[in-house]
Chains A and B, each alone.
Chain A
């Protein structure tokens, strides 16, 4: 902590400092008092127990003082939090899309990036959209977090105040690869940002192949890499047209990865599981992908060889 890189960090950190200071004083004080009591009034020293039963005065004191302290804690928390709900009118608008298990940041006009790239010292409002289950967008360095819930228009906003790279994490459990649902916030100076933005615009104007878009939008590439690396499922690189050893029922057979194999693997994943991988992790996409979609995917996979 105390490496806050946004306008909201101070309010949050002040709350921590206040509560932790009070906590430290009380925990150390009461613990020391208990140790003193146990030693000083030890039965071994032959102490007679004094038979008093209470004191209204003390009860009032230790009701009122904690009440005042917790109200101060509440106040610090509230004051630090209030600005988080007041978005400046001139804030840049970006939509963060959460899906199992990747983040995507929509800059409008079909410009979607897997990283959140922003200019320094400019307020930004991030609208939060989920395409499947609950997620939560968390950028520890900026002290921002808000759940990404399907059907809800949640948002958060902040002004990044330092140039640098910061982690983005998902903090609402969202299934198998919850802990891999990571991204980065890259804060650039205005000139670098403008360059990045223009490059990005030109890149987006060249359309991505349909097959790729289908893989990305259905979350396939969270488990099946396109570059040969082994994730939860086998990589899609070098798949098409090659032979695969699969477990089908109780026996191992070798099959050729043709269009029929790909269709079967998408509609009924557990019927043939590539050896070295586990059953039961992938659901059927029968209701989500049409046969024509799978043809486009197969066409795209050919280009990966």
Chain B
């Protein structure tokens, strides 16, 4: 605000705190530094899991054994899933961008519980290390799939327990982050920032945080039950011990379906910040977007059964869960219409963040409509547990959450590091990434419809064309990823100095220097208007 040009500004990266050197990072309670710690860990783990993904694609280039045996392959898709879901997709957006920008966007100096925040990070790190270790020690990589379906997970002789403990610890990290954010949003908004003057990314984090706090304990207990089953031979789920295997599926999906919304809601929040900035226009339908976030978070609790349509649940529960699944699709559709209308009539600057945000909508629509296909009972019978599902959730999670993450990186990079990346390189990387993504995942829809099951090490010859195209796509995608990350890493020290507000944004993070100072604001701002007011015209004052 005031001292951007005066030269007295000290960025959080240079801030002298209690500790020096590496400890100033490892023991920091600054929400921004914790956000970066998460970011660096997540990038490392992402590449580990992405390389596993590429290796699986190479294996599937031809039927039969190509570069690895079935046991290795089964371990790989399990670890790929566990790392991607529990270490990257669930924590990434809240832990990186939530930590970094939530306090700034609501005009606060930090989150409500900074030490708890650091503790969450270490829980995350311990859980993540456990997850990766499970690949290498003792009885071999877990081979149950990330879903840990019982009875197989109760019987497999591999490191299932390590993976379960990893997921359990990561769950705790997620709960504490959610708790922290809820309190931060309730208690620490700047004076004058009523609930309906809060920007929409914090709103999406608020909806997400409630899911994290309410749903995650269920998976924690469920995973402990599987451990008890394996170690103490208590028959919860394994019919050999008198348990019920479908009960496990219910408990697992009661968490893991809402978890899909933990993944996607903050992604929706990020693109909701990007569209107005690059259109220089207020968000279209602020209230509608906000209410649809809350509706998704709420109804999302009641649709878990659609993962179990073929598990032998009753006829009544099948159509009931199918019905609610279709209901929960409507708020997502509302969001898409509002984003598109936000751009309409604007002054559009097609910079990399907007490019990613627009491709987010495109990929999310494909993921969404194929999700409806899976939600329809008759169609589900054909495509359940096939490559169609694999394509669908990669479109939602990678095309949705992943592209939102990339959009957020390109949007906030100048603020986080005080440097600009190369726009040209970013555009090229986007082109490669977007092409590779569709070449990789779209063929899986086709072979899925033809009956190619998922988690198959080997396949029938009629599916080969699709698999070959998909593998080619994996290489294109990976090239794009490398180029994108290179662009960020190279310019972190060498990029042009970023101004405080490179995109002409109006939310609070753009009112402070890049990078921000240790406590973000010299003076806590007083909020007098709605969050997305561009220009000086008076017509936008009413809601």
Interface positions of A (Cβ within 8 A of B): 1, 11-12, 14-16, 19-20, 22-23, 26-27, 30-31, 33-34, 37-38, 41-43, 47-55, 58-59, 62-63, 66-67, 70-71, 73-74, 76-81, 84-85, 132-134, 136, 138, 140-141, 143-147, 149-154, 167, 169-180, 182, 232, 278, 280-281, 283
Contact = CB atoms under 8 A, between A and B. Distances in A.
B310 A74 contact: no
A27 B365 contact: yes
Given A27-B365, A38-B350, A175 B450 contact: no
Interface in B327-359: 327, 329-330, 333-334, 336-338, 340-341, 343-350, 354, 358
Interface stretch (B223-231, B276-284, B510-518): B276-284
A174 B385 CA distance: 12
B449 interface: yes
Nearest to B327: A70
Interface string B32-63: 00000000000000000000000000000000
Contact of A48 (B151, B347, B543): B347
A16 B283 CA distance: 35
B459 interface: yes
B282 A20 contact: no
Interface residues on B, range: 35 or more
B245 A175 contact: no
Interface string B375-400: 11111111011100000000000000
14 contacts: A1-B450, A26-B369, A33-B340, A41-B345, A49-B535, A50-B346, A54-B285, A73-B376, A85-B315, A133-B151, A136-B310, A143-B381, A175-B156, A178-B457
Contacts of A47: 346-348
Nearest to B149: A134
**Ranked 9 nearest A-B pairs via Cβ:** A80-B378, A77-B376, A140-B451, A81-B377, A23-B369, A151-B239, A179-B456, A154-B312, A70-B326
B378 A15 contact: yes
Interface in B451-471: 451, 453-460
Contacts of A81: 318-319, 377-378, 380-381
B376 A179 contact: no
Interface stretch (B69-77, B82-90, B185-193, B429-437): B69-77
A167 B376 contact: no
B455 to A, nearest CB: 4
B140 interface: yes
Contact of B377 (A34, A63, A80): A80
Given A15-B376, A179-B459, A38 B369 contact: no
A167 B311 CA distance: 21
Contacts of A71: 326
Nearest to B354: A38
Contact of B312 (A34, A54, A141, A149): A149
A78 B377 contact: yes
A176 B282 contact: no
B361 A34 contact: yes
Contact of B74 (A31, A140, A175): A175
Contact of A172 (B71, B338, B354, B385): B385
B376 A74 contact: yes
B157 A280 contact: yes
Contacts of A53: 282-286, 532, 540, 542-543
B136 interface: no
B497 interface: no
B472 interface: no
Contact of B457 (A33, A49, A179, A278): A179
B239 to A, nearest CB: 4
Contacts of A63: 330, 334
Contact of A41 (B69, B139, B346, B365): B346
Contacts of A177: 70
A22 B369 CA distance: 9
Contacts of A176: 70-71, 74, 143
Contacts of B378: 11-12, 14-15, 76-81, 84, 143
B246 interface: yes
A49 B69 contact: no
Contacts of A149: 245-246, 311-312
A153 to B, nearest CB: 8
A62 B333 contact: yes
Contacts of A141: 451
A73 B372 contact: yes
B344 A41 contact: yes
B322 interface: yes
B539 interface: yes
B539 A78 contact: no
Given A34-B358, A47-B348, A179 B70 contact: yes
Given A53-B540, A176-B71, A179-B457, A140 B334 contact: no
Among A12, A54, A146, A152, residue most surrounded by chain B Cβ atoms (within 10 Å): A54
B284 A12 contact: no
B532 to A, nearest CB: 8
B154 to A, nearest CB: 9
Nearest to A137: B310
Given A52-B345, A54-B338, A178-B455, 11 more contacts: A12-B378, A16-B449, A23-B373, A41-B347, A74-B323, A78-B376, A140-B451, A173-B152, A175-B74, A176-B71, A179-B459
